[in-house]
Amino acid sequence: MAGAENGTRLPMRHISVVRIMVCAWLCLPWFFGMAGCSREAPAPLQVATNVWPGYEPLYLARSLGYYPDSAVRFHEMTTSADVLKAFRNHAVDVAALTLDEALLLVRDGIDVRILLVADISHGADAIMARPAIKTIRDLKGKRVGVESMALGAYVLTRALDQAGLSPRDVTVVPVPVQEHEHAYRAGEIDAVVTFEPARTRLVALGAHNIFDSRQIPNEIIDVVVVRADMLQSRPGQVKTLEEGWFKALEYLRANPADAARLMGKREGLTAARFKATLDGIVIPDRNENKRLLSGALLPPAKRLADVMLRGKLLDRPVDPARLVVRRP
């Protein structure tokens, strides 16, 4: 028996070591699986916009299921001032802004990049006036409602400049965009610098167009900007946001009636009226976006910065090159 024990049985400590090794080997898949599960998924990109037809492809993409909640979250805000504030305060990662607002971020030393050129205004931004006011020159001495943001001041300054007037020739009345119709109806203003969809609703109240963005081509440009660090830390989500936008544009081209129905509903407009608002903007496709963000946007951005500086909408020169040159 002693010989049999010495010849066939392992010492107890060896058996224990073998058991531990076997158990460890069997548990490896479970261990690494649990380790993978315990790794936190990246938080969704937080995206802020205000209401504007040119930003609607973002929401069309969401309604079509191109943006999972795990990748992108939207925050629709009342004004562009709210969007800028949220971006400056790091409450959001991505913001839909006008190019002049993006230049203000550059002035403030915030490191941002343009991810998308959303649209170029071609009539959708306008100065709407009472019937008795026929031209911009007729605004002299009149009350003009303007949202307290760079864009409203910019449009008014450019319109007055073309008519040989200055902001000192009118009475500027600060009016938030959500109150444009009320202020006009109540007789608090004689004209207002506005944009879609408020512009269409003002027409229904009897206002008419005396100036719009067709008279300052390629100057009012809407962009989607992203914090520069997001391009390195969350490239997959940024790519999802970008691709969803272009898929939505493809859907808009292939199914214009249904796309207008979905987007118009969010803007409080019928499909027909929403389609009419799209006539006032140009939405660059993927190839045009690539061209613009590879450098073609730089000359108009520099002209815009110069106009803003002359109009005292910028307090110092700004170089938009880092903002508009497409990332590698």
Q: For the segment 215-250, what is each residue's pLDDT rounded down to a tens digit?
A: 999 889 999 999 999 999 999 999 999 999 999 999
**pLDDT at position 130:** 98
Of the candidates 77, 85, 73, 66, the one whose C-alpha atom is nearest the C-alpha of residue 42 is 73
**pLDDT at position 131:** 97
CB-CB neighbours of 82 under 10 Å = 14
Q: Where in the sequence of the chain do the CATH 3.40.190.10 domains occur?
A: 45-122+219-324, 125-215
Give the N- to C-terminal CA distance of the chain in Å, as an integer.
78
Q: Has residue 147 got a pLDDT over 80?
A: yes
How many whole angstroms separate alpha carbon 174 and alpha carbon 152? Answer: 10
Average pLDDT of the residues in 295-309: 89
Q: In the structure, what pLDDT confidence band is assigned to residue 5 with cuts at 50, 70 and 90?
A: very low
How many whole angstroms separate alpha carbon 102 and alpha carbon 107? Answer: 9
Please state which CATH number belongs to domain 125-215.
Answer: 3.40.190.10
How many CA atoms within 13 Å lie on the side-chain side of 12?
A: 0
Average pLDDT of the residues in 200-219: 94
Of the candidates 123, 103, 153, the one whose C-alpha atom is nearest the C-alpha of residue 297 is 103
Lowest-confidence segment of 76-80, 114-118, 132-136 by average pLDDT: 76-80
How many whole angstroms separate alpha carbon 207 and alpha carbon 200? Answer: 9
Q: Has residue 16 got a pLDDT over 90?
A: no
Q: In the CATH scheme, what architecture does the domain 45-122+219-324 have? A: 3-Layer(aba) Sandwich (3.40)
Q: Has residue 14 got a pLDDT over 50?
A: no
**pLDDT at position 150:** 74
**Sheet with 191-195, side-by-side order of all strands:** 171-174, 143-146, 191-195, 125-129, 208-212
pLDDT in tens, 246-260: 999 999 999 999 999
Q: In the structure, what pLDDT confidence band is assigned to residue 39 with cuts at 50, 70 and 90?
A: low
Burial of residue 298 (CB within 10 Å: 0-12, 13-18, 19+) is middle
Whether the bond into 197 is cis, omega within 30 of 0 = yes
How many whole angstroms separate alpha carbon 11 and alpha carbon 3? Answer: 14
3-state secondary structure of 326: coil
How many whole angstroms separate alpha carbon 271 and alpha carbon 266? Answer: 10
Average pLDDT of the residues in 145-165: 90
**pLDDT at position 196:** 87
**112-121/191-195 β-pairing:** unpaired
**Sheet with 112-121, side-by-side order of all strands:** 72-76, 45-49, 94-98, 221-227, 112-121, 281-282
Contact yes or no for 16/51 (Cβ under 8 A): no
Q: Has residue 109 got a pLDDT over 90?
A: yes
Q: Name beta bridge partners: 171.
A: 143
**pLDDT at position 121:** 93
Q: Name beta bridge partners: 127.
A: 193, 211
Q: Has residue 328 got a pLDDT over 90?
A: no
Average pLDDT of the residues in 139-143: 98
Higher pLDDT, 34 or 25: 25
**pLDDT at position 3:** 44
Average pLDDT over all residues of the chain: 87
Task: Compute CA distances 207 → 44, 124, 186, whole Å.
Answer: 42, 15, 13
Q: Cα 258 to chain center, whole Å? A: 23
Q: In the structure, what pLDDT confidence band is assigned to residue 8 with cuts at 50, 70 and 90?
A: very low
Helix, strand, coil proportions of the chain in percent (round to 5)?
55, 15, 30
- Please tell me the pTM assigned to this model: 0.80
Higher pLDDT, 29 or 65: 65
